[in-house]
Structure 1
C-alpha cells in the first residue's frame, strides 16, 4: 500500500491503518490519504463495513451513538428496499479515513462535525 506523504505519523493513525488493512484490505496500487473514502474508493460495504465499525468501537473505545450505517454503506445481504431507492439509501456519503481518524481522536462519532 502507498501512503500519502501528508498523512500524520501518529500511533493512532498507524493503528487505524493496520485495522483497515486487517478488516477490509488496502490496495497496493492506490495512494491512501485522509481523503480516501473507505466506501466509495475502497469498496467497503455490507458485512465488511459492519465488522469494521464494530472493530473500531472495540479497539479504540469509539462511541457510535450518532453513527448511521445507512448514510455510508449499502446493507449486508439482499435488501429489497434498494430496488425502490428508498429515501436516504440511493446516494451514500463518502466515509473517509480522515473522518475515522477524527472520530477516534475525539472518542465519539459526531456526524455533523465529521461531515463538515
Structure 2
C-alpha cells in the first residue's frame, strides 16, 4: 500500500488522480506521496510516459492543456538526436507536482503562471 501524506485533501478528485498516477506511472511504496511530490523529479516520469499521462488527464478530467508546455517539465520521448539537442538547450526542468496537477484539474485548465506561482 502506498504511503500518503497526512495533509493530502480527502476528495474524490484527488483519490481519482492518485489512482490514475498509480496506474500510469506507478507510485513507489517506500516514498510518502504528498502534493509536493514531483512526478518528473521524484517519480522519474518522462518522455512517452509523461505524454501519455497528460493525454489521459486531459481525457479523464476534461483538462484544458492550451497553456501546457511539456518541455518545461519533461525530457522528450524517443531517441531523435536532433530533438534531444534542441530540447537540452531548454535548461533544467521545472518540478511538476501532484499539487499542480490537482489544482489544474480543479480549475479545469493548465495555467502555467498560476500553477507554478
In structure 2, what is the equivalent of residue 11 of structure 1?
Answer: 12
Partner of 2:89: 87
The aligned runs of 1:38-77 (5 Å cut-off) are 38-77=39-78
Partner of 1:49: helix, strand, or coil? helix
Compute the RMSD of aligned alpha carbons: 1.3
| Structure 1 residue 20, shift from structure 2 partner | 0.1
Question: Whole-Å Cα distance in 2 between the matches of residues 40 and 28 of structure 1?
Answer: 16
Residue 68 of structure 1: CA displacement? 0.4
Q: What TM-score, normalized by structure 1, do the two folds share?
A: 0.94
Distance 2:80 2:97 in 1: 24
The total of aligned residue pairs comes to 115
Normalised to the residue count of structure 2, the TM-score between the two structures is: 0.94
Q: 1:7: Cα distance to partner?
A: 0.2
Find the aligned partners of 2:87 and 2:47 in 1 and give their Cα distance: 17
State the distance in 2 between where 1:20 and 1:86 align. 26
Shift of 1:79: 3.6
Give, in whole Å, the separation in 2 of the partners of 1:85 and 1:107: 28
Give, in whole Å, the separation in 2 of the partners of 1:108 and 1:20: 18
For residue 37 of structure 1, what is the aligned residue in structure 2? Answer: 38
